[in-house]
Amino acid sequence: MKKLLVIILIGLVIATAASYIGMQWKVRKTLDDFFQNMPLVEGTYDDFSFDFNGRMTVHDIIVEIPLAGVTIDVNSISFATSNFWETLSIEKSLQEGRLPKSMQVDIDTFSIDLQREALAAFSQQGSSQNLLAELSTLGCGRHIALSPVNYYDMGINNLTMDLSVGYDYNDSSDELISSVDLYMDGMGRMEMDQTIIGLYPVMENYRNALFGLDPSTISTTNISMAYTDLGYNSKYQSFCSVESGMEKSEWLEHHLKMINAVIGDIDLSTDFDLLGAYRQLLADRSYIEVDLRPLSGFSMSDLQFYGASELIDLVDLKISINDEPLAIGKFEWDNDKLAELDLSNIRREFRIANAEEEAEQAAAAARSAPTRMLIEVPLSSLANHQYRTVQIQRKDGYTFTGEMISVNSARVIVRTRFSTGFTDLPLERSEIAVVKLYPE
């Protein structure tokens, strides 16, 4: 009997070892084939490991994109389930449709040096101009919304991040808890946890998610999100202050005044200090937590049928900024006024116009001005003509007319007239093509 048990034990050990070695061989072969057959990309990895905790890890990955001159370095990418045996049998489980009870994917130190030329190509296709993007950019020089190259210019020329995503599933309670943790060096950290019930059919056979699954049987019972600023706020405000020709603190107050004007234009009404909360969010190292616990019977798919104030109660919304809870009860606005909101009017009111608006105003002023003989002057001699009335043509074709009130090695400031009054317009010398003087 003892001999039989020993034989069985040895057999199990041999079978496990064979499966373990076979799994390593399959993964290594898959990795080799993948890196060797990537089109237009050259990739390598240093090593692959599979430990007895059930974690498989690919180490020291380098991906080069020659056409873009870009190199991506990744310290490691790992995959794990709840234990060694579950990871070892993951291929068989997936073939049978079963998902692991626990799964974790970690990307450690993903790093890429961004290329300004490549970002400029994306920027030429147009920046993302949604309402939130435009609101956050109010007062930021001539920008309507920040483009990829603007982020590069504010100092974000390298993207280094860690990412961890995963879930744990409990059979007895039919409860799945998912988590995401994204850390971006020098920018911020975002964390999110979500609890979902009703996924048993999917966990038993993920094909059920494609055929015959009733979405009403699945519900989210909790969502928790947190974001910590790790340097983005400072970069963003420094960039916008330079673009608008202001000190950093001065620009922040200017931006907040513009936001307050928008609040008034759409009749936004709250029972808490919204502008004060926004100011806190813009502070260095700010921290915001958001928790939602939807009431029983509430479906996230019904969001569109409720107003903001109703949703606050239905999802039991809790928000805290820098560990100070916000007592949110009322949050209302005029939808008609929001639909008619024109941020260009706000920019003109506060004497900050984007390039197209500036060009339109300058063209109108030029059409109404009497025709006079203009004298072109070398860019190197601009300092000799300070306080003269000039016409400046930028390399992008836009033309501006006004009094040249300041000249230095980096920029020229022209006091020009818009319909709302005078504004001091900063122009980068590197962007100027031609300068002409009006007769005295």
pLDDT band at 165 (very low <50, low <70, confident <90, very high): very high
In this predicted structure, what is the pLDDT of residue 106? Answer: 95
Checking if the pLDDT of 71 tops 80, the result is yes
pLDDT per position as a tens digit, 420-429? 556 778 888 8
pLDDT digits 0-9 by tens, 310-329: 777 777 888 999 999 988 87
pLDDT score, position 107: 94
For residue 356, what pLDDT is reported? 53
Q: What digits encode the pLDDT tens for the residues 98-135?
A: 889 999 999 999 999 888 877 776 655 554 568 888 88
Of the pLDDT bands very low, low, confident and very high (cuts 50, 70, 90), residue 205 is confident
Higher pLDDT, 310 or 82: 82
Question: What whole-number distance in Å separates Cα of residue 58 and Cα of residue 149?
Answer: 32
**Angle subtended by helix axes 232-244 and 248-265, to nearest 10:** 90
Residue % of the chain over a pLDDT of 90: 25
Question: What mean pLDDT do residues 384-401 have?
Answer: 85
- So what's the pLDDT on residue 187? 93
Residue ranges of domains in the chain, CATH in brackets: 132-156+181-198+206-352 (no CATH), 353-437 (2.30.30.100)
Reply yes or no on whether the pLDDT at 363 is more than 50.
yes
Residue 4's pLDDT is what? 46
As a whole number, mean pLDDT of residues 295-317 equals 68
Q: What average pLDDT does this structure show over 424-437?
A: 87
Q: Which of 4-8, 77-81, 93-97 has the highest mean pLDDT?
A: 77-81
Examine the pLDDT at 24 and tell me if it is beyond 70. no
pTM for the model stands at 0.71
pLDDT of residue 304: 59
Mean pLDDT over 7-30 rounds to 57
**Radius of gyration (C-alpha) of the chain in whole angstroms:** 30
Contact by Cβ (8 Å): 329, 120? no
Residue 233, CB-side half-sphere exposure with 13 Å CA sphere: 18
Q: What is the pLDDT of residue 372?
A: 52
Which CA distances in Å does 86 have to 76, 89, 134, 140?
Answer: 21, 5, 48, 53
Average pLDDT of 27-34? 71
Q: Which of 72-81, 147-156, 213-222, 284-293 has the lowest mean pLDDT?
A: 213-222
In this predicted structure, the answer to whether residue 233 has a pLDDT above a threshold of 90 is yes
Q: Quick check: 6 pLDDT over 50? A: no
User: Among 74-88, 235-249, 344-358, whose mean pLDDT is lowest?
Assistant: 344-358
What is the percent of the chain where pLDDT is above 70?
81
pLDDT for 21? 59
pLDDT at 20 over 80: no
Mean pLDDT (the chain) is: 81
What does the pLDDT read at residue 334? 87
Range picked from 15-29, 151-165, 178-192, 315-329 for highest mean pLDDT? 178-192
Average pLDDT of span 184-196: 94
Q: What is the mean pLDDT of residues 280-287?
A: 93
Structure-token match 């190292």, residue found: 285
